[in-house]
Every structure is written in structure tokens, then in C-alpha cells.
Amino acid sequence: MILDSSSVVVVTGASSGLGAALATDCARRGCTVVLVARRADRLAQVAEAVTNAGGTAVSITADVSQESECDRVIREVVGAFGRIDALINNAGRGNMNSIEDTPTEQWRSMFAVNVDSIFWLTAKALPHMRSRNSGSIVAISSVAGRYGHPFNAAYVAAKHAVVGFIAALRTELVGTSINATVVCPAGIITEWADATEGGSIGALYGAAIPRSRTIARESGLSTAPLSRMMTAEECSAIIIDAILAGRTDDVFTHSGTKDIAVQTLQDRCAQEDRFESLWRAMREAYESQRQSG
């Protein structure tokens, strides 16, 4: 697909991290970028970056975990521009709790922001894309949408649901010129780990990195299970290329992660056994974090 000055791109979670980078990349192509998130002050900063990069910015302050807010976003965009060329469902949050420590509200909020929002926005945007038989729908899942990680089961389950949703969407788009893609990044340097519900999860992953390298060496993996962190800009560039190429396959942004996902699919139990020392390191870090309050 083409992204140029005639394109209207909606980016959710545009107030920081990957969403801000995606918005700025679209702006470099001259697009009108609709920035959606809850923090108005941060949206204003990204809007300035979008304008400086050559795009047109429209900020909509909205909580996409509410259906009525998603409805309003799409109505405002269609009302103002009459079209949506790309919908980038990027808004998301993580959680940090063992399953038995996860409050029901946290479980529900993980699904509301990470999954329900994508259903509502996509369902409301699709009729407008269908009327022009054109458009691109992107959802940011995660490698957590492909294989399990401990102490964020609600997030892992939600990101798996995103992969399933986009797979089902593609089967409904057969015969149209509307593309749907799910993106599965590994670590990106953003605010995500600290914005996590239940406390920062960064230390848990940090504690497991040395074991991750040992596992890679011992198992002959090309990349360690916890691969190198990417900048939001690097990750955004890969996603924009995928949109421009009209890719409808699942996009793995970090090298080696697709291999791990495929191996997991082939033999999930063997893969979980292979990574056992990771899970142990994360449990130790989780328990010590809990003890220190």
C-alpha cells in the first residue's frame, strides 16, 4: 500500500514509545496522522514531532479500553476525513503478577486495552475500508502472543488473542484489497516495562538474560530467547516496511524470534523444558521483588 499525503493513518497508543515512532515515520511520508491515547500532554509533544516531520497531526484523547471511546475515535476520523487508510492498533499495557496474585480487574483490564480495543476499532473502521475496498489493519501483539512467559499471564493470554483475532480477520478479508497484519516484537526500549500494571517487570526479564544466553549456546539457537532490545525507531521502520509491502503474514521484528515461535508450535513442551532455567531465574526475581515490597 502507499502511504503519502493523501493517507489518513490512525495510531493508537501514540503518546509514547513505538506508537510515537510509528506516527513520526508516517509523518515523514506526509500522512495525516491521528494520534490516539489518554495523556493529552504527551500527545501534544508527539503532534509537534509529527508536524516537524512533514505530516499533519490530529490528536484524539481517548481511552481505547472503552467501546464508546473507540466508537468516538472512528466517528471523529471519518467525520473529518471521510477515510481511514491504515489503522495501527498499537495501544497496549503489560502486567506483572503471578497467576494467583492477579486481581480480576487486572485480568480484565489486560484484555480490554490489548484485545477488546482492537476488536472495537477494527469492527468500526472496517465498513469505511470496505466501501473503498482499500486499507491496512495492523495489530501489535508480541512474542508473548506466541509463547508463554511467567508472571504476566494476563498479558500473554491477551497477546495470544490478538494473533488469533488477526488470523480470523484475514479469513474474512479474502477477496478484498484490505490487508491485516499482526506484529510480534520482542523487547523494545520504551516505557512499557515501567507502565506495567502490578509493578515494573523489567527486573524479572533482566534477571533471566544471562541464563537466556546460556540456553542459546547449549541449544544451538541463532538468537537467545531474550534477544537484544530494539529502539522504537528500529521497530517502527520494520513495521512501516511491512505496511508498504502489503504484507499479510505475521511480522517478527527481532531476528531469531520467528524460529523460536515455530519451534514452540512444533513442540511446546520441549521448548518450555529447554527454557526452564529462564523461568526459574524469573521466579527468583519475582519472589525477591515481592519480599522487598
Ligand X SMILES: NC(=O)c1ccc[n+]([C@@H]2O[C@H](COP(=O)([O-])OP(=O)(O)OC[C@H]3O[C@@H](n4cnc5c(N)ncnc54)[C@H](OP(=O)(O)O)[C@@H]3O)[C@@H](O)[C@H]2O)c1
Of the candidates 147, 155, 205, 286, the residue annotated as catalytic is 155
Active site residue 205: no
Distance CA 197, CA 121 (A): 23
- Residue 16 interacting with ligand X (CB under 6 A): yes
Using an 8 Å Cβ cutoff, are 173 and 214 in contact?
A: no
Residue 44 CA: distances (Å) to CA of 14, 20, 47, 146, 186: 10, 11, 5, 34, 28
Nearer of residues 141 and 271 to ligand X, judged by Cβ: 141
H/E segment holding residue 87? strand 86-89
Nearer of residues 26 and 171 to ligand X, judged by Cβ: 26
Q: How far is the CB of 63 from ligand X (least distance, A)?
A: 4
- Residue 87 interacting with ligand X (CB under 6 A): no
Distance CA 219, CA 68 (A): 49
Distance CA 263, CA 271 (A): 7
63-82 positions binding ligand X, by CB under 6 A: 63-65
Nearer of residues 179 and 257 to ligand X, judged by Cβ: 257
Member of 1, 38, 49, 76 binding ligand X (CB under 6 A): 38
- Residue 105 interacting with ligand X (CB under 6 A): no
User: Crossing angle for the helix pair 202-219 and 276-291, nearest 10 degrees?
Assistant: 160
Interface size with ligand X, residues (CB under 6 A): 29
Q: Which stretch binds ligand X (CB under 6 A): 14-22, 73-81, 121-129, 281-289?
A: 14-22
Q: How far is the CB of 48 from ligand X (least distance, A)?
A: 16
- Residue 192 interacting with ligand X (CB under 6 A): yes
Member of 33, 53, 91, 182 binding ligand X (CB under 6 A): 91
Pattern 166-185, ligand X, x by CB under 6 A: -------------------x
- Residue 213 interacting with ligand X (CB under 6 A): no
Count other Cβ atoms within 10 Å, centred on residue 110: 27
Looking at the chain, list the stretches that DSSP marks H as alpha helix, in order from N- to C-terminal side: 17-28, 40-52, 67-81, 104-111, 117-132, 153-172, 202-219, 232-244, 257-266, 268-274, 276-291
* Strand pairing class (230-231; 188-189): parallel
Instruction: Report which DSSP code applies to 50.
Output: H
Q: Which stretch binds ligand X (CB under 6 A): 89-97, 123-131, 164-172, 243-251?
A: 89-97
Q: How far is the CB of 113 from ligand X (least distance, A)?
A: 4
Distance CA 91, CA 62 (A): 11
Catalytic amino acids? Answer: 155
Residues in contact with ligand X by CB under 6 A are: 12-19, 37-39, 42, 63-65, 90-93, 113, 140, 142, 185, 187-188, 190-192, 195
